[in-house]
Chain A
Amino acid sequence: MTDTTDTGPVLAADGTPLKRSLARALRMQKMRALALIAPLLLFVLITFVVPIGQMLWRSVENDIVADTLPLTVVALASWDGNSGELPSEEVYDAFARDMIVAVNAKQHTRLGTRLNYEKTGISSLFRKSGRKIKKWDPVEDAPFKEKLIEVHDGWGDIETWRTIQAHSSRVTGGYFLNAIDMQKTPDGPAAQPEDKRILIKLFTRTLIMSMIITCSCIVLGYPVAWILANLPMRSANMLMILVLLPFWTSLLVRTSAWKVMLQQQGVINDVLVWLGLVSDSARLIMINNQFGTIVAMTHILLPFMILPMYSVMQTIPPTYLRAAKSLGATNWTAFWRVYFPQSVPGIGAGSILVFILSIGYYITPEIVGGTKGVFISNRIAYHISSSLNWGLAAALGTILLAVVLLLYWCYDRIVGIDNVKLG
């Protein structure tokens, strides 16, 4: 509270302003509190904030061209790629000098790999040329234009130089364009060729399947949470253990178990065939497709739905239902008008949790998803560990993060985030 009269700010006994006095008194307390959380803060900073920040940066970072070919980038800047003519000797000279340095530092293959994302074939162009260029001398072997074209006719292709020019800036939107099935060409952004467009499809599939998984978790989890919240303590605890049991089992084991259950020679198909509901020749395909992913992930994420719902339902006294019934409401009306609205915060919390978890899920779709049931995260993993296109992986991850934040924002606008109770 501030004193707004003519006397000015409130003063402490010794004449210093009260606010400063208070701040000084509290500083020690704050320092001590900070010291207590410092280890965690440091841990989070090092293991979470920094890597994520770096990953986000990687999605636009493009230092490799400018670092490996510094002279070439400068020389290429004045070349007009649309002129239809090859760059001048000046560019070739700069390029040769850069390459000699790069080859000796064994950097040229990395650059080749990077540019290969943009134009197929450049990788081998760099690798093959590297062996020859290694023996050159920047002064004695000049001029380089003919020599280079002789080494590989790729160097006589205007497109090669246009690609290098287009990707020479240190910051690029190319990865993001790739992430939405477009590419950065020397002529500006353009759509990927038909056969390479899969990421948008994967994004949509991930979102739709996550929604289906979230909905099935709500439908399956709500009654369980309700029973948990209304049983006597003893039985509720027993049931709670059953809910938590999957948590204590390895994720891999659970997913593999679904594989055993769902495959064509698996338990469910065997039973159906044995019962005569399905003929032996037409066994159901329930795995390595979207169905398999949805079933397995619903099972795995169900506890994340049940627990928040349960903790909210526990706080709803049973007298509300009784009161509603005493006022003349049927069981259904009492539930729908009185109980359900009060349990919505639990559904909201569970849904956010399940949706966000499933949107980034990796292991389960990888194992039971086949090709039709994989998520965007599997593609990210592919780019991280197989194609080594970390920039694209980072861009995909960034988009995923943005989508989650956007949904979170929408949820806040529609339901209100303070209505969410996690426990």
Chain B
Amino acid sequence: MRHQTALEYGEPILADTSSTDAFVEFERVQKSYDGEILVVKDLNLSMPRGEFLTMLGPSGSGKTTTLMMLAGFETATHGDIRLGGISINNIPPHKRGIGMVFQNYALFPHMTVAENLSFPLEVRKMGKSEREAKVKRALDMVQMGDFGGRRPAQLSGGQQQRIALARALVFEAELVLMDEPLGALDKQLREHMQFEIKRIADNLGITVVYVTHDQTEALTMSDRVAVFDDGRIQQLAPPDQLYEAPENSFVAQFIGENNTLEGVIKEISGGRALVELDDGELIDCKPVNVSKPGERTRVSIRPERVEYNKSRLQEGAHTLKAEVLEFIYMGDIFRTRLRVAGNDEFIIKTRNAPDVERLVPGQQIEIGWLPDDCRALDA
């Protein structure tokens, strides 16, 4: 499906703004439902055209509220939301020309699949033949070409999902919002649809804002991920940065599996921090959002970056004593639970390779890591 600007269909607000860098912008946006608690606190976000951005966060973090403000179903209490450089705060949802895929698909049960897809075209007063052509193209795009005459209730969850996607795309919106669209699907189908959605979005060059609480989904699909917590974006970064270089404890904990050790900064110099753990041991870390000695810190290390094979450690790197508590064989990896510096939940993951030693519970080992993988974050 060749992409055209929504302008053709009379959306006054989506003027041609291809010269502007930011397509979607949130500026100091706040939202409160009851006048007492801010659900969204000072949100600033800028998205270029064609980006696939995921809002990830626990429930109640404000991500869905943000999406609804963008769609126009909620009004921002304060701040400005701009689409293509034009403020859309006072534009009703039906004039925003934003496609949306809902969590439960919201396919109209009294219409056939084709009628569902035709609906947005009808309200745009499009001619019959043009409508039919577009509906057919959209259905073919999601590989549902033969299902036009069915009712939504006659389709499986995955098929309904495809139709919901096709309906959000059929009127050629430049911005498509997706509110946990894969939440109701089983794991296998969900993984398949992740790639499908990503492929279609890339082919059409549309801008996507995707809301999910599934971090795997966020990491695999997105160009950038905005991690929400407590009404704020905690970190906005591409998936690899988010995983490898979390900027605070929340992100480190929320994305992927993470080991935490608590301690106090002893000294900071030249991009290195020396941390004294609570049991007195010293380790080298990379300071992230800590600034001065004496500050409490949480040190974060990914389980797959921990080494116990001494030959792989850097010369002079600090090591810690550890006791093996549990060894789980998981096929492709070994997952070992250790007691490190008083923490019983220290996990390491090791690739299953011929030269890797299989640990035994009760075994005493020494572990270490590259200082760059060990990040000193806020306590």
A interface vs B, CB < 8 Å?
A: 317, 319-320, 322-331, 333-334, 337-338, 341-342
CB distance from B81 to the nearest CB of A (A): 15
Could you say which of B95, B98, B106, B167 contacts A317, with CB atoms under 8 Å apart?
A: B106
Most buried by A among B93, B98, B110, B168: B93
- Contact of A328 with B120 at beta-carbon distance under 8 Å, contacts A322-B73, A322-B102 already known: yes
Residue B292, interface by CB 8 Å? no
Q: Which residues of A contact B102 (CB under 8 A)?
A: 319, 322-323
Residue B310, interface by CB 8 Å? no
Could you say which of B72, B103, B109, B119 contacts A327, with CB atoms under 8 Å apart?
A: B119
> Can you give 14 A-B contacts (C-beta < 8 A)?
A319-B106, A323-B108, A324-B119, A325-B94, A326-B93, A326-B94, A326-B99, A327-B99, A327-B168, A327-B171, A328-B95, A328-B123, A329-B123, A334-B94
Residue B181, interface by CB 8 Å? no
In contact, B110 and A327 (Cβ under 8 angstroms): no
CA distance A208 to B109 in the complex (A): 34
Q: Which residues of B contact A320 (CB under 8 A)?
A: 106, 108
- Contact of A328 with B108 at beta-carbon distance under 8 Å, contacts A319-B102, A333-B123 already known: no
Most buried by B among A323, A328, A329: A328
**Interface residue count on the B side (C-beta < 8 Å):** 27
In contact, A317 and B94 (Cβ under 8 angstroms): no
Most buried by B among A323, A325, A327, A330: A327
CB distance from A322 to the nearest CB of B (A): 6
In contact, B106 and A328 (Cβ under 8 angstroms): no
In contact, B94 and A337 (Cβ under 8 angstroms): no
10 A-B pairs closest in CB distance: A327-B120, A323-B106, A326-B100, A319-B106, A325-B93, A325-B94, A341-B110, A329-B123, A328-B123, A319-B102
CB distance from A314 to the nearest CB of B (A): 15
Residue B97, interface by CB 8 Å? yes
In contact, B97 and A328 (Cβ under 8 angstroms): yes
Chain A binding site: helix, strand, loop or mixed by DSSP? helix
**Among residues 76 to 115 in chain B, which have CB atoms less than 8 Å away from a CB atom of chain A?**
92-100, 102-104, 106, 108-110
B interface vs A, CB < 8 Å?
A: 71-73, 92-100, 102-104, 106, 108-110, 119-120, 123-124, 167-168, 171, 177
Count, A-B residue pairs, CB within 8 A: 66
Known: A327-B100, A328-B95. 16 other contacts (CB 8 A): A319-B102, A320-B108, A322-B71, A322-B93, A323-B102, A323-B106, A323-B108, A324-B108, A325-B72, A325-B92, A325-B93, A325-B94, A326-B93, A326-B96, A327-B171, A328-B171
Q: Which residues of A contact B99 (CB under 8 A)?
A: 326-327
- Contact of A326 with B123 at beta-carbon distance under 8 Å, contacts A317-B106, A320-B106, A338-B108 already known: no
CA distance A328 to B118 in the complex (A): 12
Q: Which residues of A contact B97 (CB under 8 A)?
A: 328
Q: Which residues of A contact B177 (CB under 8 A)?
A: 326
CA distance A329 to B104 in the complex (A): 19
Q: Which residues of A contact B124 (CB under 8 A)?
A: 328
Q: Which residues of B contact A342 (CB under 8 A)?
A: 108-110
Q: Which residues of B contact A328 (CB under 8 A)?
A: 94-95, 97, 120, 123-124, 171
Q: Which residues of A contact B95 (CB under 8 A)?
A: 328
Q: Which residues of A contact B96 (CB under 8 A)?
A: 326
Q: Which residues of B contact A323 (CB under 8 A)?
A: 100, 102, 106, 108
Q: Which residues of B contact A337 (CB under 8 A)?
A: 119
CB distance from B90 to the nearest CB of A (A): 15
Q: Which residues of A contact B92 (CB under 8 A)?
A: 325
CA distance A320 to B111 in the complex (A): 12
Could you say which of A319, A329, A338, A341 contacts B94, with CB atoms under 8 Å apart?
A: A329
Q: Which residues of B contact A338 (CB under 8 A)?
A: 108
CB distance from A415 to the nearest CB of B (A): 13
CA distance A119 to B106 in the complex (A): 69
In contact, B104 and A327 (Cβ under 8 angstroms): no
Q: Which residues of A contact B103 (CB under 8 A)?
A: 319
In contact, B73 and A330 (Cβ under 8 angstroms): no
In contact, A319 and B93 (Cβ under 8 angstroms): no
In contact, A327 and B123 (Cβ under 8 angstroms): yes
CA distance A320 to B164 in the complex (A): 12
Most buried by B among A322, A323, A329, A333: A323
CA distance A329 to B118 in the complex (A): 12
CA distance A330 to B92 in the complex (A): 9
Q: Which residues of B contact A334 (CB under 8 A)?
A: 94
CA distance A338 to B177 in the complex (A): 21
By beta carbon, the residue of chain A nearest B98 is A326
CB distance from A141 to the nearest CB of B (A): 82
In contact, A327 and B73 (Cβ under 8 angstroms): no
CA distance A333 to B120 in the complex (A): 11
By beta carbon, the residue of chain B nearest A320 is B106
By beta carbon, the residue of chain B nearest A326 is B100
By beta carbon, the residue of chain B nearest A334 is B94
- Contact of A322 with B106 at beta-carbon distance under 8 Å, contacts A328-B94, A328-B97 already known: yes
Q: Which residues of A contact B119 (CB under 8 A)?
A: 324, 327, 329, 337
By beta carbon, the residue of chain B nearest A341 is B110
Q: Which residues of B contact A326 (CB under 8 A)?
A: 71-72, 93-94, 96, 98-100, 168, 177
CA distance A324 to B177 in the complex (A): 14
Q: Which residues of A contact B73 (CB under 8 A)?
A: 322, 325
CA distance A331 to B94 in the complex (A): 8
Q: Which residues of B contact A327 (CB under 8 A)?
A: 94, 99-100, 119-120, 123, 167-168, 171
